[in-house]
């Protein structure tokens, strides 16, 4: 995240600081045509108007562009952060339902070793090929696959032939939680939206030297101070846009907003119990952690 967000922002700030004074000098020396008969675009009268700017015309243009940029970026950041929050809610709900399903599989297949092993294998396929692959599989492709390719469908079929079994409601809730996770992870903002934000940022930066060129007529040394201010402005704009882009690509790129780190901790207990049951360390119908009696709890405390 630091490499993709902070480093480009620092580079943009350094380039903007160095290029500001030459850009203002180029604007003041610009001509409206090559004929030589037309007056300069930046003559003494124009510089006087820009330096005084009694009508606030140029500054209003800069303010309007900055206001549009701030409104759109603020709404975009809020939308992307809200989507990130929904991902965590969906993952907590899905992992909780997955743990309940694993416990129900153990209890309902007590004494039926073949069924027990088969259901645990399908549960393992769900964890490894579905829940774990947040950054590999597209949520649309995951949802559009055939029902027979879904491990949860196999569990539902094996436990609910004829009449719905005890695991029917748990599988149903797990599917609902998975749908919420896929919907939250689905990319909703197109690349065109980000390009429009970057275009507005460029407009703000381009308008700033025009406003600053009028100050050169009064105090030429002010360009040094304005160049540093311009660099700070470029750093802030680039930093905000990079954060929005990082949120937009949080599913496919590892970084501060990626949920894989949290998911690894969430499913650790689920995977350990699942693998222990597959290896025969925990028998079917047996809970891995039986409740302790009240007196045992008192002694342990």
pTM comes to 0.69
Distance CA 16, CA 22 (A): 10
Tokens of 293: 């009696």
CA distance 186 to 182: 6
CA-CA-CA-CA torsion for 272, 277, 278, 281, nearest 10 degrees?
Answer: 100
Q: In Å, how far are 22, 28, 42 from 216, measured between CA atoms?
A: 12, 9, 12
Share of the chain above pLDDT 90, in %: 0
- Token pair recorded at residue 27: 């604007």
pLDDT computed for residue 259 by the predictor: 80
**Maximum alpha-carbon separation in the chain:** 103
CA dihedral (236, 237, 238, 244) positive or negative = positive
Q: What's residue 294's pLDDT? A: 40
CA–CA gap between residue 224 and residue 230 (Å, rounded): 10
Locus of tokens 């025009």 = 210
Q: How far apart are CA 281 and CA 271, in angstroms?
A: 13
DSSP state of 295: H
Per-residue pLDDT, 150:
82
Angle at Cα 70 formed by Cα 204 and Cα 228, nearest 5°? 45
Q: How far apart are alpha carbons 251 and 136 in whole angstroms?
A: 9
pLDDT at 292: 42
Q: What is the pLDDT of residues 237-250, one digit of tens each?
A: 998 888 888 888 77
Per DSSP, the three-state class of 256 is coil
Residues of the chain with pLDDT under 50: 31-35, 37-38, 290-298, 301
> Residue 162's pLDDT is what?
60
Q: How far is CA 127 from CA 21, 101, 123, 272, in A?
A: 58, 12, 6, 12
Q: Tokens 């949520």 correspond to what residue?
A: 139
Which residue shows structure tokens 């675009």?
41
HEC string of 100-163 equals: HHHHHHHHHCCCCHHHHHHHHHHHHHHHHHHHCCCCCCCHHHHHCCCHHHCHHHHHHHHHCCCC
Predicted confidence at residue 173, as pLDDT, reads 87
Burial tier of 121 (Cβ tally within 10 Å: 0-12, 13-18, 19+): middle
Sign of the torsion angle spanned by Cα atoms 196, 200, 206, 207? positive
Q: Which residues pair with 40 in a beta bridge?
A: 31
Give the closest residue to 70 by CA, choosing from 208, 195, 240: 240
């Amino acid at each position: 995240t630091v490499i993709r967000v902070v480093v480009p922002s620092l580079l943009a700030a350094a380039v903007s600081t160095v290029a500001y004074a030459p850009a203002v000098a180029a604007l003041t020396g610009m001509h409206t045509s090559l004929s030589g008969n037309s007056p300069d675009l930046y003559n003494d009268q124009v510089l006087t108007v820009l330096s005084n700017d009694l009508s606030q015309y140029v500054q209003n243009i800069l303010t309007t562009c900055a206001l549009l940029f701030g409104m759109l970026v603020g709404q975009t950041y809020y939308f992307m952060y809200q989507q990130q929050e929904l991902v965590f809610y969906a993952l907590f709900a899905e992992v909780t339902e997955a743990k309940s399903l694993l416990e129900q599989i153990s209890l309902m297949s007590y004494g039926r070793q073949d069924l027990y092993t088969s259901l645990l294998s399908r549960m393992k396929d769900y964890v490894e090929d579905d829940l774990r692959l947040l950054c590999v599989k597209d949520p649309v492709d995951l949802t559009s696959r055939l029902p027979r390719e879904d491990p949860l469908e196999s569990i539902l079929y094996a436990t609910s032939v004829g009449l719905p079994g005890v695991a029917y409601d748990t599988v149903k809730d797990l599917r609902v939680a998975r749908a919420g996770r896929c919907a939250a992870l689905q990319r909703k903002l197109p690349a065109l939206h980000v390009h429009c934000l970057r275009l507005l940022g460029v407009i703000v930066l381009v308008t700033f030297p025009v406003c600053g060129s009028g100050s050169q007529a009064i105090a030429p040394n002010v360009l040094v101070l304005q160049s540093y201010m311009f660099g700070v402005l470029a750093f802030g704009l680039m930093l905000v846009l990079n954060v929005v882009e990082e949120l937009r690509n949080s599913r496919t790129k590892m970084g501060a907003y990626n949920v894989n780190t949290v998911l690894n901790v969430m499913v650790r207990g689920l995977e350990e119990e699942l693998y222990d049951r597959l290896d025969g360390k925990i028998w079917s119908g047996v809970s891995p952690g039986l409740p302790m009696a009240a007196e045992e709890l008192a002694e342990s405390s």
